[in-house]
Amino acid sequence: MEQFLQVTISGLATGAIFAISAVGFALLWQTAGAVNFAHGEFIMVPAVLILALGTQEPTVGIPDFIPLIGGANIGVALPSAGLPWGLLIGFALTIPIAIFLLGYLFKVSLVDRLLQPGGDDIPLVIATIGLGLFLREYVHEAWFATPQPFPSVFGNGFWRPGGVAISADDIGIIVACTIVIGALQFFIKRTYLGRQMEAAAQNAETARVLGIPVNRMVLLTFAINAVLVTIAGLLVSPAINARWDAGINLGLLAFTAAIIGGFNQVRGALYGGFLVGVIQNWSGAYLSTLYRDAGPLLLLILVILVRPQGLFGRAEERRI
């Protein structure tokens, strides 16, 4: 029983991260029709940036980072009294960079050029696979090939109420993700701007007729996605380290969560994320640690077979 609780809680924590990633992925798919096969790399790159910009360790600092900056170490070294300041500053610096690179630049240089309304989505799929390769190999070649330890914002504490070992990191992740998704949900459902964004996602044609600036709403979605992947990178990396090849698994599990949950923007991806996290941890604990990822992947194939609109989606909500 203790083990079950423990496994489920850490499953929920992993799942919370998948949920944020999946929400971003689903937002892009729904609002812009953009299927992003580099989504996993979109989580990996901010993690590496956070480390590079905020680390007190010169080993992964700017010098080997972008040769353009000219070898100056602008990594921020602050006394880490209580809070992991370096990490938080790295995070704060990464957000605008991510919004520009993974949001704006991605949209105007690839998505806008390759996605004609009513056209084929395969060219963008191909290009984003190329983008994923580019980002992976770039990090591998220009930054580091070996996994780098990544500190947790929530520290390494443990509680043991009644024999169940609960890590501060897991609880912190669950709380942080709940807040992030709650805020996003509030924005989309309760604010005028959010509803305009949702309107553009649900029916771009009607939104245009009403004078909703659809293109700006799509750009907003890309920016939100960039913020979400940065948060996901910050939260997921302590468990898996910052590594150049993390994106393959992260991306696949995010797609899996989004597809399993269904394309109801936030809700489906949210449930899908938690489900994938919990199933992954259950299969790791009760089947075999070697087959941790097999459970979610089998479920993905099963869902596409029997319920392509997703477990929580309604058929008419899937646009593609």
CA proximity to 114, closest of 128, 104, 134: 128
Using DSSP bridges, classify how beta strands 166-167 and 158-159 pair: parallel, antiparallel or unpaired: antiparallel
Select the span of 5-13, 81-89, 171-179, 204-212 touching another protein (CB under 8 A): 204-212
Is the Cβ–Cβ distance between 237 and 151 less than 8 Å? no
Q: Is 2 in the site for another protein (CB under 8 A)?
A: no
HSE at residue 296, side-chain half, CA atoms within 13 A, is: 31
- Measured from the CB atom, the residue of 84 and 277 that comes closer to another protein is 277
Select the span of 44-52, 54-62, 178-186, 296-304 touching another protein (CB under 8 A): 296-304
Q: Is 151 in the site for another protein (CB under 8 A)?
A: no
Instruction: List the interface residues with another protein, window 42-101 (CB under 8 A).
Output: none
Residue of 71, 130, 149, 157 that binds another protein (CB under 8 A):
130
Is the Cβ–Cβ distance between 37 and 223 less than 8 Å? no
Q: Is 126 in the site for another protein (CB under 8 A)?
A: yes
CA distance 19 to 257: 7
**Contact track, another protein, 3-32, x by CB under 8 A:** ------------------------------
Select the span of 9-17, 66-74, 150-158, 255-263 touching another protein (CB under 8 A): 255-263
Q: Is 168 in the site for another protein (CB under 8 A)?
A: no
Residue of 66, 78, 129, 183 that binds another protein (CB under 8 A):
129
67-77: b or e for each residue (b if 16 or more CB lie within 10 Å)?
Answer: eeeeeeeebbe
CA distance 250 to 244: 12
CA distance 66 to 59: 14
Residue of 135, 228, 235, 236 that binds another protein (CB under 8 A):
135
Q: Is 320 in the site for another protein (CB under 8 A)?
A: yes
Q: Dihedrals φ, ψ of 253, to 5°?
A: -70, -30
Match 């993690």 to its residue by tokens: 47
Is the Cβ–Cβ distance between 275 and 261 less than 8 Å? yes
CA distance 187 to 23: 14
**Contact track, another protein, 212-231, x by CB under 8 A:** xx------------------
Minimum Å distance from CB 309 to another protein?
Answer: 9
Looking at residue 1, its amino acid is: M
Show the tokens assigned to 260: 């399993």
Q: Which stretches of the chain bind another protein, using CB under 8 A?
A: 35, 37, 109-110, 113-114, 120-127, 129-138, 140-141, 192, 195-196, 198-199, 202-203, 205-213, 248-249, 252, 255-256, 259, 288, 290-291, 293-294, 297-298, 300-301, 304-305, 308, 320
